[in-house]
Copies of this chain bind each other. A is one copy, B any other.
């Protein structure tokens, strides 16, 4: 079997952000998808080791920012390769606190959603969090970043905690 076949699956690139007792967290994720339309529900898949996983489990709210295609690699690295526990990812970043209390990253975002958690599906190293969309806005008409563009054109890497990591 050739697991590189898994690289043929298409994804976008997103920042998922949450809150716990006044502390903010945010991380890069590629597994964000709409799962129902009536009512509109979103699912995200997060690694159990990540701070945002802990915060979503606790506060039961999160936001998703859809990143624009030309998001600088440095910006992605800030959210994807650091830990919210010991580094303030929001410093110098344009964001707002949404109606759920979760932070919403606006820098380099073409759209955002806010989600109230309804289901958790334990899939091993990760959890799929599913919830109802309670707010949604388009911020810009710039094209969204795809994971393919990030990986093949921008030569971006995935951390070991990603859903798509494949040891070579």
Interface, chain A (partner B; CB < 8 A): 1-6, 8-12, 31-43, 45, 66, 110-113, 118-119, 121-126, 128, 130, 133-138, 144, 146-147, 162-166
What's the Cα separation between A31 and B133 when bound, in Å? 17
Partner of A36, one of B118, B126, B146: B126
Contact B36 A33 (CB under 8 A): no
Q: Chain B nearest CB: distance from A84 CB in Å?
A: 21
Contact A136 B34 (CB under 8 A): no
What's the Cα separation between A144 and B35 when bound, in Å? 21
Cβ contacts under 8 Å, A122 to chain B? 119
Given A6-B34, A35-B126, A123-B41 in contact, is the A136-B66 Cβ separation under 8 Å?
Answer: no
Cβ contacts under 8 Å, A123 to chain B? 35-36, 41, 43, 118-119, 130
Chain A: interface secondary structure?
strand
Contact B3 A40 (CB under 8 A): yes
Q: Chain B nearest CB: distance from A66 CB in Å?
A: 4
What's the Cα separation between A9 and B39 when bound, in Å? 17
Partner of A34, one of B2, B111, B164: B164
Given A121-B128, A146-B146 in contact, is the A135-B1 Cβ separation under 8 Å?
Answer: yes
Contact A10 B144 (CB under 8 A): yes
Contact A5 B36 (CB under 8 A): no
Closest 7 CB pairs of A and B: A10-B12, A121-B121, A5-B111, A5-B136, A8-B111, A8-B66, A37-B165
Contact B135 A8 (CB under 8 A): no
